[in-house]
């Protein structure tokens, strides 16, 4: 933490008390510092203040709100290096990826600062001569978010920016593993002129308490969650009681398909980027690779070479491309899935070994079959299982044979195949000849049990707006 030059970014850190949450560095296991473990009462107070603050914020013009958001965007960019270091220290991803996430996270603020000015209503041709019909769009009120540890900045800004731009207030509970980044971006928001009560970060080790509080509160009108499908289900059930609006970005099981007409070098490059980003710990990471017979050997050989060249280590060090896993549970899961697959006949082509601490070697498994747990479950680690396939129809069936429907990827140069497969995949997002597709201008989200709603793009702000119909009669 000594390397952070803008010390105000760390102002939420507190003394090591009995209740404070210790934040550790997954690369070393060292404690980086402590943040408050808020009580239920403190979170309730934050919700009440957010509810009060929202009224004044909603009265500002969209242009005024936009100006504040642009200042916030600029502050993130000016503090890119410090924010990236904080992120790598608490999350483990290589510094280059953290720098990229700061830019990506900031891009949502810039985008929604613009979109906030375009939340148009409509005038609708009237069927009754004495009436005029129109709609306006209004902020839902207080929006609450629960966010995961894998994108400690972007998962906050992707929700906070559209909420604030729409005129909502925003309260977030980040994952207990990565609260420092959340507090740092919030601090920059305050410096940009966003009132403290309007944007609150609360931290607790009792995620269940926070979830129940958010879902049951009458002062909160909207829940936005990114995390596992299991927790998403719980939050949806809990939100039913108060009939709250929900957005859910849940788990994925992304297929990465290489057809026999693909550019294999491009597919290898996309495969490495898609699979091994953040050590495989993203919900859009390629989870299973399907490679067509004719190109299987060539793909596996080239993919293996590329994976052997990855550099595992502490993300702060130059040249490191694979950091540690977030915690011991993540490592145990990876080990369990590899053992299960090899017991059923899969072969370790590259890697496969525990590297001590929270590090696990980037790994390729071949001779994998579609029914193995490593194909059916979300791995969330640096393991690439490769499955051989022959015809397009059975491939589509296998690719869609999952409860998930977030991201999918395929490589082909045949325009007929491209449209046929892109339309047949039951996923919210399809990367064609691209392994990394997230951008603030495109709608991110899933179908099936991968989620509800979209983030980013023009759709992202709809999640924080209600449409009101106004009928003007007696004319």
> Could you give the residue numbers annotated as active site?
249
DSSP secondary structure code for residue 121 in this structure: -
Whether 373 and 339 have beta carbons less than 8 Å apart is answered as no
Residue 231 touching ligand ADP (CB under 6 A): yes
Nearest residue to 145 (alpha-carbon basis) of 114, 116, 108 = 108
Tell which one of 94, 162, 227, 351 touches ligand ADP (CB under 6 A).
227
| Nearer of residues 51 and 177 to ligand ADP, judged by Cβ | 177
Q: b or e along 97-127 (b: 16 or more beta carbons within 10 Å of the residue's beta carbon)?
A: bbbbbbebbbbbbbbbbebbeebeeeeeeee
Nearest residue to 156 (alpha-carbon basis) of 177, 176, 139, 172 = 172
Q: How far is CA 7 from the centre of its chain?
A: 27
- Sequence-distant (≥ 6) Cβ neighbours of residue 349 within 8 angstroms: 300, 304, 364, 365, 366, 386
Candidates 10-18, 204-212, 268-276, 299-307; binding stretch for ligand ADP (CB under 6 A): 204-212
Residue 201 touching ligand ADP (CB under 6 A): no
Smallest gap, in angstroms, from Cβ of residue 285 to ligand ADP? 12
Residue 211 touching ligand ADP (CB under 6 A): yes
Candidates 11-19, 226-234, 292-300, 404-412; binding stretch for ligand ADP (CB under 6 A): 226-234
| Nearer of residues 231 and 457 to ligand ADP, judged by Cβ | 231
Smallest gap, in angstroms, from Cβ of residue 327 to ligand ADP? 9
User: 213 - beta bridge partners?
Assistant: none
Tell which one of 20, 207, 348, 430 touches ligand ADP (CB under 6 A).
207
CA distance 134 to 472: 8
| Nearer of residues 290 and 380 to ligand ADP, judged by Cβ | 380
Residue 254 touching ligand ADP (CB under 6 A): no
Binders in 360-379 for ligand ADP, by CB under 6 A: none
Strand pairing class (407-411; 254-258): parallel
Residue 403 touching ligand ADP (CB under 6 A): no
Q: Where are the alpha helices (DSSP H) in 386-475?
A: 392-400, 415-424
| Nearer of residues 206 and 298 to ligand ADP, judged by Cβ | 206
| Nearer of residues 171 and 175 to ligand ADP, judged by Cβ | 175
Smallest gap, in angstroms, from Cβ of residue 19 to ligand ADP? 17
DSSP secondary structure code for residue 20 in this structure: P
Helix (H) or strand (E) holding 291: strand 286-292
**CB neighbourhood size of 313 (10 A):** 17
CA distance 156 to 162: 11
User: Residues, the chain, total?
Assistant: 475
Binders in 409-438 for ligand ADP, by CB under 6 A: none
DSSP secondary structure code for residue 164 in this structure: H
Smallest gap, in angstroms, from Cβ of residue 147 to ligand ADP? 6
Residue 175 touching ligand ADP (CB under 6 A): yes
Tell me the residue number closest to ligand ADP, measured at CB.
211
Tell which one of 56, 124, 208, 294 touches ligand ADP (CB under 6 A).
208
Candidates 28-36, 156-164, 206-214, 459-467; binding stretch for ligand ADP (CB under 6 A): 206-214
Smallest gap, in angstroms, from Cβ of residue 229 to ligand ADP? 8
| Nearer of residues 267 and 326 to ligand ADP, judged by Cβ | 326
**CB neighbourhood size of 42 (10 A):** 14
Smallest gap, in angstroms, from Cβ of residue 329 to ligand ADP? 8
x/- mask, ligand ADP, residues 124-153, rule CB under 6 A, reads ----------------------xxx-----
Nearest residue to 256 (alpha-carbon basis) of 455, 372, 104, 406 = 406
Residue 334 touching ligand ADP (CB under 6 A): no
Residue 228 touching ligand ADP (CB under 6 A): yes
| Nearer of residues 128 and 208 to ligand ADP, judged by Cβ | 208
CA distance 44 to 374: 41
| Nearer of residues 138 and 228 to ligand ADP, judged by Cβ | 228
Q: What does R_g of the chain's alpha carbons equal in angstroms?
A: 23
Smallest gap, in angstroms, from Cβ of residue 200 to ligand ADP? 15
Per rule CB under 6 A, count of chain residues that contact ligand ADP: 13
Candidates 61-69, 79-87, 169-177, 365-373; binding stretch for ligand ADP (CB under 6 A): 169-177
CA distance 284 to 276: 11
CA distance 385 to 341: 9
Nearest residue to 248 (alpha-carbon basis) of 264, 262, 229, 261 = 229
CA 99 to each of CA 77, 80, 372, 464: distance values in angstroms, whole numbers, following the listed order: 10, 6, 36, 28
Candidates 117-125, 207-215, 240-248, 284-292; binding stretch for ligand ADP (CB under 6 A): 207-215
Whether 57 and 198 have beta carbons less than 8 Å apart is answered as yes
| Nearer of residues 330 and 384 to ligand ADP, judged by Cβ | 330
Candidates 224-232, 263-271, 272-280, 294-302; binding stretch for ligand ADP (CB under 6 A): 224-232
Positions touching ligand ADP (CB under 6 A) are 146-148, 173, 175-176, 207-208, 211, 227-228, 231, 234
């Amino acid at each position: 933490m000594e390397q952070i030059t803008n010390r105000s970014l760390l102002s939420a850190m507190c003394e090591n008390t009995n209740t404070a949450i210790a934040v550790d560095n997954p690369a070393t296991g060292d404690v980086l510092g402590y943040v408050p473990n808020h009580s239920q009462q403190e979170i309730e107070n934050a919700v009440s203040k957010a509810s009060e603050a929202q009224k004044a914020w909603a009265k500002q013009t969209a242009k005024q709100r936009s100006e504040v958001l642009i200042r916030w965007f600029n502050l993130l960019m000016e503090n890119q290096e410090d924010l990236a270091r904080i992120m790598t220290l608490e999350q483990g991803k290589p510094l280059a990826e953290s720098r990229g996430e700061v830019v990506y996270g900031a891009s949502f603020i810039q985008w929604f600062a613009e979109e906030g000015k375009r939340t148009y209503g409509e005038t609708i041709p009237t069927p009754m001569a004495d009436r005029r019909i129109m709609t306006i769009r209004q902020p839902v009120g207080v929006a609450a978010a629960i966010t995961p540890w894998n994108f400690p900045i972007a998962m906050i800004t992707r929700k906070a920016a559209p909420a604030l731009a729409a005129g909502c207030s925003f309260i977030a509970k980040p994952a207990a593993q990565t609260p420092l980044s959340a507090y740092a971006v919030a601090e920059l928001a305050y410096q940009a002129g966003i009132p403290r009560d309007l944007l609150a970060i609360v931290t607790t080790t009792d995620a269940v308490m926070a979830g129940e509080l958010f879902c049951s509160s009458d002062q909160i009108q909207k829940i936005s969650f990114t995390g596992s499908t299991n927790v998403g289900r719980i939050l949806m059930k809990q939100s039913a009681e108060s009939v709250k609006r929900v957005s859910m970005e849940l788990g994925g099981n992304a297929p990465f398909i290489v057809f026999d007409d693909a550019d294999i070098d491009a597919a290898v490059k996309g495969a490495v980027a898609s699979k091994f980003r953040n050590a495989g710990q993203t919900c859009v990471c390629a989870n299973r690779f399907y490679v067509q017979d004719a190109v299987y050997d060539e793909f596996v050989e080239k993919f293996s070479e590329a994976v052997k060249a990855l550099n595992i280590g502490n993300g702060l060090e130059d040249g490191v491309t694979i950091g540690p896993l977030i915690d011991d549970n993540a490592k145990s899961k990876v080990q369990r899935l590899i053992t299960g697959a090899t017991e059923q006949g899969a072969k370790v082509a590259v890697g496969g070994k525990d590297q001590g601490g929270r590090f696990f070697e980037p790994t390729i498994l071949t001779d994998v079959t579609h029914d193995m747990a490593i194909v059916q479950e979300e791995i969330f680690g640096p393991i690439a299982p490769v499955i051989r396939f022959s015809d397009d129809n059975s491939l589509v069936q296998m690719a869609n044979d999952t409860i998930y429907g977030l991201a999918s990827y395929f490589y082909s140069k045949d325009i007929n195949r491209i449209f046929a497969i892109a339309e047949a995949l039951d996923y919210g997002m399809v990367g064609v000849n691209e392994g990394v597709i997230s951008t603030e201008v495109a709608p991110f989200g899933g179908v099936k049990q991968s989620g509800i709603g979209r983030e980013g793009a023009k759709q992202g702000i709809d999640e924080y707006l209600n449409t009101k119909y106004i009928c003007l009669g007696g004319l």
